[in-house]
């Protein structure tokens, strides 16, 4: 069997991209209406989408190469969490540091219980193996963008590479129906980080995965763009008080409304750390395009940024990611009419001029005003500006409390805003 860890893996791999329509994949049968926390079954359809999903499940069961698939947060790179060789394939494809742990994705609570109770002791005694601190979190936020830290049990069947030397592992149940159906078909928990090359911006489309991992993996499931756009929130309920290890799709305010979590603390830093990471995203530089990123903190005057751009004669091409207050550069004196350079929900304009001091080309992408729009478009915007070959990217920061007076749900708004700023601070080479 070919393996990503053999000499043959040095050769380019033919990467297939299989389209999957979530409305045509098959039929879900619930024991309780629309409740994925109770037992449920999935029957694939005979459509092309159903066949492609089956092909991905077969690859995950039989191949040592990981498979890329969509979740609601970002695209994941999945492998059988019980197979050391398969999980090693994730690290090889991503060129990921070996001490950076992975999140285990599950499709049911029974699957999680089998991981936590490998010897069947709890099942025999009729006792619950999921720590009770997580009961209300799970019932409120699963399936969804929340990962919980759990104790690695005695006799664990998880590949040691999953926990990367830690006595714990993180798990979550995604809400994306393609991800859930894929895991259910495999009947295997999937270890799955984001499906990008290590340190690069996370992928929110199949095209992003192809750009980074084409020739390194065999299969990409294309289920369309991700709806959240930033990774899951990671929490640790095993410590006192409980802690948030990574901000993501669930906000600290939402978590503090849950019994037992009122005193939850923030245990992450927006900079890198030398300590062994308890969860993904805690130690290493992440989310960075090739171009240098300059993050402007909220309320930094646009005039200050523009003066910096036009007086910097070291850059001939500059990218701008703007959201709420920075203007469209076509309105600046000397600008030109808008020109499309970004395909998707965001619009873009190009400024060509001498910058007052030197020949300058500026590409500007509008992510939108709503926090959810900004989160969905952030990684795609960074990648698009990289493809345009800019030397430096200036990003407009946003308030971590969300947009004042926003029509967005306050909790979702705050969660996305904190996650956006966390990712930007990790990506930035400079903050102004």
3-state secondary structure 96-146: CCCCCCCEEECCCHHHHHHHHCCCCHHHHHCCCCCCHHHHHHHHHHCCCCE
Instruction: Tell me: is residue 232 an annotated ligand-binding position.
Output: yes
Of 118-127, 268-277, 296-305, 377-386, give the lowest mean pLDDT range: 268-277
Which pLDDT score, from 0 to 100, does residue 428 have? Answer: 94
Which pLDDT score, from 0 to 100, does residue 410 have? Answer: 53
Axis crossing angle, helix 371-387 with helix 206-213, rounded to the nearest 10: 40
Instruction: Tell me: is residue 172 an annotated ligand-binding position.
Output: yes
The mean pLDDT of the chain is: 89
Fold of the 292-431 domain: Rossmann fold (3.40.50)
Q: To which residue do tokens 């005193």 refer?
A: 263
Q: Report whether the peptide linkage leading into residue 96 is cis, meaning its omega lies within 30 degrees of zero.
A: no
Q: To which residue do tokens 């199949």 refer?
A: 206
Task: Judge whether 248 and 375 are in contact, CB under 8 Å.
Answer: no
Domain boundaries in the chain?
7-226, 292-431
Tokens of 300: 């930094």
- Give the pLDDT confidence of 137-165 residue by residue, as tens digits: 999 999 999 999 999 999 999 999 999 99
- Give the pLDDT confidence of 327-372 residue by residue, as tens digits: 988 766 444 333 344 433 344 555 666 555 567 888 999 999 999 9
What architecture (CATH level 2) is domain 7-226?
Alpha-Beta Complex (3.90)
Instruction: Tell me: is residue 246 an annotated ligand-binding position.
Output: yes
Note the pTM of the prediction, 2 decimals. 0.89
**Nearest CA among 104, 124, 103, 126 for reference residue 115:** 104
Angstrom distances, CA of residue 137 to CA of 38, 190, 254: 15, 21, 10
Instruction: Tell me: is residue 105 an annotated ligand-binding position.
Output: yes
- Classify each residue of 37-70 as buried b or exposed e, where b means 16 or more C-beta atoms within 10 Å of its C-beta: eeebebebbeeebbebbbbbbebbeebbbbbbbb
Task: Judge whether 432 and 297 are in contact, CB under 8 Å.
Answer: yes
Q: To which residue do tokens 């830690």 refer?
A: 166
Instruction: Tell me: is residue 73 an annotated ligand-binding position.
Output: yes
How large a percentage of the chain has pLDDT more than 70? 85
Instruction: Tell me: is residue 192 an annotated ligand-binding position.
Output: yes
Could you give the CA distance from residue 29 to residue 184 in angstroms, rounded to a whole number? 12
At residue 278, φ and ψ (nearest 5 deg) are -80, -20
Pairing of strands 233-236, 146-151: parallel
Could you give the CA distance from residue 264 to residue 267 in angstroms, rounded to a whole number? 9
**Nearest CA among 202, 132, 190 for reference residue 159:** 190
On the question of pLDDT at 126 being above 60, the answer is yes
Instruction: Tell me: is residue 392 an annotated ligand-binding position.
Output: no
Q: Cα 349 vs. chain centroid, distance in angstroms?
A: 27
Instruction: Tell me: is residue 100 an annotated ligand-binding position.
Output: yes
On the question of pLDDT at 189 being above 90, the answer is yes
Tokens of 104: 């285990």
Mean local confidence (pLDDT), 4-14: 64
For residue 194, the tally of other CB atoms under 10 A from its CB is 30
**What is the number of helices (H) and of strands (E) in the chain?**
12, 19
For residue 207, the tally of other CB atoms under 10 A from its CB is 16
Which pLDDT score, from 0 to 100, does residue 342 have? Answer: 41
Q: Which residues pair with 235 in a beta bridge?
A: 148, 244
């Amino acid at each position: 069997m070919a393996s990503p860890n053999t000499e043959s893996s040095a050769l380019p791999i033919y990467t297939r991209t299989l389209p999957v329509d979530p409305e045509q994949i098959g039929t879900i049968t619930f024991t309780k209406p629309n409740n994925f926390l109770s037992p449920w079954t999935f029957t694939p359809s005979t459509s092309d989408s159903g066949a492609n999903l089956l092909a991905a499940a077969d690859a995950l069961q039989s191949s040592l190469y990981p498979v890329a698939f969509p979740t609601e947060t970002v695209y994941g790179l999945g492998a059988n969490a019980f197979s050391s060789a398969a999980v090693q394939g994730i690290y090889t494809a991503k060129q990921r540091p070996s001490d950076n742990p992975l999140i285990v994705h599950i499709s049911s609570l029974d699957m999680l219980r089998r991981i936590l109770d490998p010897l069947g002791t709890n099942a025999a005694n009729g006792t619950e193996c999921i720590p009770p601190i997580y009961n209300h979190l799970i019932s409120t936020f699963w399936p969804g963008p929340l990962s919980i830290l759990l104790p690695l049990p005695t006799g664990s069947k998880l590949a040691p590479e999953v926990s990367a030397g830690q006595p714990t592992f993180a798990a979550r149940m995604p809400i994306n129906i393609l991800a859930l159906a894929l895991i259910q078909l495999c009947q295997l928990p999937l270890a799955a980080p984001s499906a990008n090359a290590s340190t690069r911006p996370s992928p929110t489309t199949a095209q992003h995965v192809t750009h980074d991992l084409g020739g390194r993996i065999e299969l990409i499931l294309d289920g369309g763009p991700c709806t959240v756009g930033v990774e899951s929130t990671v929490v640790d309920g095993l410590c006192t008080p409980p802690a948030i290890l990574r901000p993501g799709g669930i906000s600290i305010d939402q978590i503090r409304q849950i019994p037992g979590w009122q005193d939850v603390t923030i245990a992450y830093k927006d900079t890198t750390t030398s300590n062994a990471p308890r969860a993904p995203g805690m130690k290493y530089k992440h989310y960075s395009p090739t171009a240098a990123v300059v993050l402007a903190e909220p309320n930094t005057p646009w005039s200050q940024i523009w003066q910096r751009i036009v007086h910097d004669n070291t850059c001939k091409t500059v990218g701008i990611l703007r959201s709420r207050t920075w203007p469209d550069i076509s309105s600046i004196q000397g600008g030109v009419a808008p020109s499309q350079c970004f395909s998707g929900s965001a619009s873009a304009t190009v400024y060509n001029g001498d910058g007052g001091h030197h020949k300058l080309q500026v590409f500007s992408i509008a992510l939108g005003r709503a926090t959810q729009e900004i989160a969905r478009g952030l990684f795609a915007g960074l990648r698009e500006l990289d493809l345009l070959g800019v030397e430096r990217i200036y990003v407009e920061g946003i308030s971590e409390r969300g947009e004042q007076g926003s029509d967005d749900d306050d909790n979702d708004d705050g969660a996305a805003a904190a996650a956006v700023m966390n990712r930007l601070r990790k990506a930035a080479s400079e903050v102004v």
